[in-house]
Amino acid sequence: MGTIQPHGGTLINRVASGPRREELLRLAAHGKKLYVNARTISDIECIGIGAFSPLTGFLGQDDYDSVLHRMKLADGTVWTLPVTLAVPEADAAWLADGERVALIGEQDGIVYAVLTVASIYTANLLEEARCVYKTGDPAHPGVRQLLSGPAVYIGGPIEMVNRPASRYPDCCYTPAETRKWFAVQGWSTVVGFQTRNPVHRAHEYIQKCAMETVDGLFLNPLVGETKPDDIPADVRMRSYRALLKNYYPGGRVMLGVFPAAMRYAGPREAVFHALVRKNFGCTHFIVGRDHAGVGDYYGTYEAQHIFRNFTREELGIVPLFFEHSFFCTRCGNMATSKTCPHDPAFHLHLSGTKVRAMLKDGICPPAEFSRPEVAKILIEGMST
């Protein structure tokens, strides 16, 4: 198998360099400006480096409406989450189609991109919430973030002039770089794994099951904005490194960060995550239970069922579906309901809430649930 094609057929590169970058920076210094938050800056980076291919910028109204109601861009390409630029109505009032505007970090004053305005429209935020998140409940973190923002969206292509500095420069790759790395390693089949959590034994088990059938694993943790009660990315990154060092074969795993913000959109985000990893060069993608879920808003395996809406040709990447795994004390190893015949009383289950409480109290979860090296790092990280 050759290198997998990026989504839409072309790996997008919206990074300005050389004289073009200097021209755009001069324009930004004297032209119109919009100040954007960390979530938008992470979207700028993902569009710029091609992780969100085939997007060249923030969605215009036609694409936005199509994504909400068809889970496809207006041209029919599968795309499940709206990537939009929300701006206060007062800011939108002095912009017009065709104008160029600088997108500047509201915290650091750095010019990250220049956008050419192609569409200005007002969204129905409650309708968007119900389409994307399947709920209008403001207790849902994605809905809360959406409803707290402006309803006016600016769409149009961007050119990134400054890539955000990464806290993990040794693991910060563009899709072009990962594709080259996979080719150098001789990997023709690569399975991607998305996570915003530490990798415990259950995750390790399904990763290694997948690794039995492919050339390599791309462990691609999300390090953008997450919920306040999620374990911080710095702590998680230390735990990933420890796990890979002690329990994975050298030369068969690549660790690279995904700079996007978490949406918590459950089923739709599962498809979105698969398409992004396709852009990074993965041929397969692991989808477990309650992928990208939060609370009880989605069914346990709803994030797997949504893939039935698309053909293999439309997706271009093979989803690998796994049931919830656990340690069975009778089997003496990790298993799922597909491989273990024993009563659930013999299955070790720990909720994320219970594990976080144990870690905060300095209690190491059982070795059957978490590798001791990982637990030690998490306890230290959560006590600081």
| CATH number of the domain where residue 307 is located | 3.40.50.620
∠ CA 368-371-374, nearest 5°, is 145
Q: Which residue has the higher pLDDT, 354 or 5?
A: 5
What whole-number distance in Å separates Cα of residue 317 and Cα of residue 284?
6
| 13 noted as active-site residue | no
Asked whether 56 and 157 are in contact (CB, 8 A), the reply is yes
Please check whether residue 199 lies inside any domain of the structure: yes
Please check whether residue 116 lies inside any domain of the structure: yes
Instruction: Give the pLDDT band (50/70/90) at residue 2.
Output: low
* This prediction's pTM: 0.96
Tokens of 19: 């004289």
Query: pLDDT value at position 350?
Result: 79
Catalytic member of 14, 196, 236, 268: 196
Are 202 and 64 within one domain?
A: no
What whole-number distance in Å separates Cα of residue 124 and Cα of residue 147?
10
Are 102 and 57 within one domain?
A: yes
pLDDT over threshold 90, residue 191: yes
Average pLDDT, the chain: 96
Tokens of 272: 């979105």
56-67 mean pLDDT = 98
Query: pLDDT value at position 207?
Result: 98
Query: pLDDT value at position 1?
Result: 44
Q: Quickly count helices (H) and strands (E) in the chain.
A: 14, 15
| 197 noted as active-site residue | yes
96-108 mean pLDDT = 97
Are 82 and 121 within one domain?
A: yes
Sequence letter at residue 220: N
Domain termination site, one of 116, 140, 160: 160
Are 206 and 333 within one domain?
A: yes
Catalytic member of 39, 130, 144, 197: 197
Domain that holds residue 28: 18-160
- Which of 274, 288, 293, 375 lies closest to 326 in space, CA to CA? 288
Are 341 and 365 within one domain?
A: yes
51-72 mean pLDDT = 98
Instruction: Give the pLDDT band (50/70/90) at residue 316.
Output: very high
64-76 mean pLDDT = 98
Asked whether 124 and 114 are in contact (CB, 8 A), the reply is no
pLDDT over threshold 60, residue 45: yes
What whole-number distance in Å separates Cα of residue 51 and Cα of residue 352?
29
Are 85 and 197 within one domain?
A: no
Q: How far is CA 248 from CA 73, 284, 313, 356, in A?
A: 39, 19, 32, 25
pLDDT over threshold 80, residue 383: no
Are 258 and 154 within one domain?
A: no
Total structural domains within the chain: 2
Q: What is the pLDDT of residues 320-366, one digit of tens each?
A: 999 999 999 999 999 999 999 999 999 998 777 788 888 889 999 99
State the CATH number of the domain containing residue 45.
Answer: 3.10.400.10
Tokens of 129: 């919430």
Please state, as a whole number, how many other Cβ atoms lie within 10 Å of the Cβ of residue 363: 11
